[in-house]
Amino acid sequence: MVKAKVIDENQTAYFVQAAALTCRLAKSEVEADLKLGDSVSGFVYENEEHHLQMTLKVPAVGINQYAFGEVVSVRRDLGVFVDIGLPNKDLAVSLDELPEQHKLWPKEHDQLMIALKLDHKDRMWGTLATTEVFQQLAVKAEQSMMNQDVTVTAYRLKLAGTLVVTADFKLGFIHPSERDREPRLGEQLKARVIGVRPDGILNLSLRPRAYEAIGDDAAMLIATLEHQGGSLPFWDKSSPAEIKSYFGISKGQFKRAIGHLLKNGLIEQQTGKILLKSPTNNQGKK
């Protein structure tokens, strides 16, 4: 942040000076006209054309000041570029701070929490928030979040699992057994709360609930069971004609659906009927 004096102007910009530095300030950012000699405070940086520029749109990030920014481009030889709200400038996060595997690098629209840092040439870079920073910002989760769906952002990738954070800064952990692939750094994910630790950290799963993974026919059977009070007078030995007439599917489809539901512990089968298991009989299922 710099306080400077107006020394010149043209049709589109004011030129302001602080000490021996002259910066350009776009007139489009200024609500009231400035005059020569007026003072103005703003954020000064080197833009993409390597010219000093002042902006009144102060970015949320700063030295030791962290905020999320959106990844706007990726360069394998350099790192990723993050939009922090500066005109004519995106902030580079060096490949030295990114995962060794390129497939785990952030992609466009992913979110990174970064602060500013300056190198020995006074060039601005983005630096990733550490685990300790997230812990300082963290809000403890309540037990009432159990089984809720949440949107999280991956902020640290570890062999033991993925560390994530919600929009309201509740921290979470995704064990490798609760995902089909390792998320990217900065990737936003839809997750489900499968546990709340005593320290307020969420245990999360990226896997669908059992009834979400069983397919359309099985989901239709569950919905029908719920509508009919939890019982239907059909089982895997019912005739194809009866099944087709009532459900509109083949006996093969019906048996596969029954098999999925039995495997996932959502129903039980008795002679001549299928029964919907109550939630209390199915608490161990995810």
Q: What is the pLDDT of residues 29-43, one digit of tens each?
A: 999 899 999 999 999
Strands 188-196 and 91-94 turn out to be unpaired
pLDDT score for 269: 92
Lowest mean pLDDT among 67-76, 90-99, 274-283: 274-283
Contact partners, residue 251, CB within 8 Å, separation at least 6 = 238, 239, 240, 243, 244
The residues that bridge with 160 in the sheet, in sequence order, are none
Burial 202-232 (b: 16+ CB within 10 A, else e): bbbbbbeebeeebeebbbbbbeebeeeeeeb
Nearest to 1 by CA among 39, 54, 50: 54
pLDDT score for 284: 41
Average pLDDT, whole number, for the chain?
91
In the structure, what pLDDT confidence band is assigned to residue 114 with cuts at 50, 70 and 90?
very high
Instruction: Count Cα neighbours of 110 within 13 Å in the Cβ-side half-sphere.
Output: 20
Report pLDDT digits (tens) over 140-196: 999 999 989 999 999 999 999 999 999 999 999 999 989 989 999 999 999 999 999
Using N-to-C axis directions, what is the helix angle for 216-227 and 240-247, rounded to 10°? 80
Give the residue-averaged pLDDT of 249-268: 90
Domains of the chain: 2-55 (2.40.50.330), 67-129 (2.40.50.140), 139-205 (2.40.50.140), 211-279 (1.10.10.10)
Report pLDDT digits (tens) over 37-75: 999 999 999 888 889 999 999 999 999 999 999 999 999
pLDDT at residue 281 greater than cutoff 50: no
pLDDT score for 161: 95
Q: Has this prediction a pTM greater than 0.85? A: no
